[in-house]
Structure 1
Amino acid sequence: MKLVSFTAGLGNQLFQYCFYRYLLNKFPNEKIYGYYNKKWLKKHGGIIIEHFFDVKLPRSTRWINLYGQYLRIIYKCFSCGVSKDDDFEMNRTMFVGYWQDQCFFSGINISYKKNLVISEKNTWLLGEILKCNSVAIHFRRGDYMLPQFKKIFGEVCTVKYYLKSIRKVEEKISEPVFFVFSDDIDWVKQNFTFNKVYFVDWNKGQNSFWDMYLMSQCSANIIANSTFSFWGAYLNKNNPFVIYPQKWVRTNLKQPNIFPKTWMAL
């Protein structure tokens, strides 16, 4: 028996689901359950991956969750039983991490649910995206500006990074139209000017999924150092031109092995 922990927001849940599928392939005769950290998930709107994607999450029970809590306590005391990103061992019982590596998700098919109900406003925007050389550009600030996150993720995607990315897109794509997705549109308007632009700021809470969906429909993507942003580009089936930040975090952590070779680092 093995347990996979699911936690954090939609982007990380997608990585964790891929890792679960990876384990299913590695251990076809073993039961693999889900451990759902309700306290941490609640901060990000809960488990929302199954609302929008064609996935089958691992089942869980009250006993499984209690067992997961027990294993985490044992790990804190004796460093055994639990495998983490920076301490990965296949033969352990519980897996707690984000599993941001192509070896875990390449070959795993992730697709949207076929019966998704899109709002009138998002339907209108999708029409605008599909009729031009659309460029999704994602600015993530919000929680990245909080002290505990800023020291890790903040100020990686600087104004300079976005200006260089915009110039590169304008060199590559004829008459680009920018679609700005951000949790701080006012900051974007104060720091950048675009010839043709749409600002997208109405998809809130669980509906923020629609930002990811709309980004994945564009002709090109400029992403932030965010797993949400990454999936918006990775799920794009239009053979997009994608730019990502050369540095993912401010700390000495190495760049995650998640970027396709066809993408451009700046």
Structure 2
Amino acid sequence: MRTIKRWKRSLYKKLVKYKVIAPKVIVLMDGGICSQMFQYLIGRIFEEKGYKVVFDLTFYKEWGSDMNNHFVRNFDLLKAFPNLKMEIASDLMITVYKQKYFNLGNNTYGKVDDFSFLQRKPPIYLGGYYHLPSRIWLPTFKSIFKILASGFDDSNQRMCSEIGQRHASVAVHVRRGDLKNEIPAYGKPASVEYFRLAISYLFENVESPFFYFFSDEPEWVCTDLIPCLNLALSEDCKVVDINGSDKGYMDLFLISHCTHQITSKGTLGKYGALLNDNIRKIVVLCDDEIEYPWKDIFCNPIFL
């Protein structure tokens, strides 16, 4: 059996090498919904060059969790955006390309601005995380990612309706889980003081704001964070806990329906703000170097 598999891999390598089989770009998909969205964007950029692009989804079979193996990560991209089209790479294709044509992402530590991978031609396997200039990915993001009303289940539809009835709803994304401690790619986690400053800013600049908290650790938000923010549950805020980490894309939809967004580390709050077409929205971000590239993406973001 192993001999047959080796023979198939060897034959496939030769067919790709001599272009009997058209060479392709394989993009590794991993992580949560926002990572999947960005990885899909990378594939679209190569498709616009005229290349055939397929996607490797084996992460969701072999691992399918966050970096701490605590919160699940499902492949939700096509649940969130069912109008997208994508082709899945075969196991044989993935094995050969990873061995022969692997290219490691340029954003492993969050600070490398090497865009040379965009000049690569197939065959190539794009693994890891990549950084792109906003002028390249942002127009495509806005053109292809559209939230459909049919994407909400009943409980989220009710929550969406409630949010829509408030004239000054504020989404507060509190990323915990594998980012509650400092790691190189994301820096220090958003502090309690950051959220205190952000809440105060919204009270000072928006009439009667109401805060909706979204987090992978809603219990921590209730017991540890909100008591430090001078907020009263029900009167000033609500913790949205109807979606677990297995339905993070539903939280993304709800965040996007809020009038304003307070973000934290990670991209869920930021992508929610990008999906919000309100030109007067206030978007608050952590005031540190790793977050500064978002200055070019949002109109007048607030760094605290």
Give the equivalent residue in structure 2 for 1:243: 284
Q: Which has the larger radius of gyration?
A: 2
String of CA shifts for 1:165-208, please: whole Å, max 9, x gaps.
11211122101111111223232234222251111122113222
Aligned to 1:78: none
Deviations 1:217-264 (A, max 9, x none): 011100011112211111112232111112265xxxx84456323322
CA distance in 1 between counterparts of 2:253 and 2:268 reads 10
* C-alpha distance 51-98 of structure 1, shift in aligned 2 (>3 A): farther
Match of 2:131 in 1: 99
Distance 1:211 1:126, change over 3 A: same
The 3 A distance-change label for structure 1 pair 48 and 263 is same
Structure 1 residue corresponding to 2:160, chosen from 89, 104, 126? 126
Q: Give me the identity figure in percent.
A: 20
1:34 aligns to what?
55
Instruction: Identify if the C-alpha distance between structure 1 residues 126 and 46 changes in structure 2 by more than 3 Å, giving closer, same or farther.
Output: closer
DSSP-derived class of the 2:151 partner: coil
Which residues in structure 2 correspond to 1:165-244 (within 5 Å)?
Answer: 165-182=198-215, 183=217, 184-185=220-221, 186-194=223-231, 196-239=236-279, 240-244=281-285
Aligned mates of 1:238, 1:125 — CA distance in 2: 19
Given that 1:135 and 1:219 are in contact with CA atoms closer than 8 Å, whether structure 2 keeps it comes out as: yes
Instruction: Calculate the TM-score normalised by the size of structure 1.
Output: 0.82
Where 2:139 maps in the other structure, the secondary structure is: coil
8 Å Cα contact 2:54-2:87 kept in structure 1 = yes
For the aligned residues, what is the CA RMSD?
2.5
Which structure 1 residue ranges, 4+ long, deviate > 6 Å from structure 2?
none
Secondary structure of the residue that 2:98 maps to in structure 1? helix
Question: How many pairs are equivalent?
Answer: 250
TM-score, normalized by length of structure 2? 0.73
- Checking the alignment, whether the CA contact within 8 Å between 2:283 and 2:298 is kept in structure 1 is no
Deviations 1:6-56 (A, max 9, x none): 11111111111111111211x22x212222342666114332111111322
The superposition leaves residues 44-80 of structure 1 with CA deviations (integer Å, 9 ceiling, x where unpaired) of: 43321111113222431122211232147xx5xxxxx
Extract unaligned runs of 5+ from structure 2: 1-23, 66-71
Pick one of 84, 95, 98 that aligns with 1:69.
98
SS at structure 2 position matched to 1:180: strand
Counterpart amino acid of residue 99 in structure 1: H
Q: Determine helix, strand or coil for the equivalent of 1:63.
A: helix
1:112 aligns with 2:136: no
Aligned letter for 1:112? I
| Aligned-partner Cα distance in 2 for 1:232–1:159 | 21
Question: In structure 1, what is the Cα distance between the partners aligned to 2:159 and 2:87?
Answer: 35
Which residue identity lines up with residue 129 of structure 1 in the other structure? I
Equivalent positions of 1:144-183 (< 5 A) are: 144-145=179-180, 150=183, 153=186, 155-182=188-215, 183=217
For structure 1, the residue ranges without an aligned partner over 5 or more in a row are 76-80
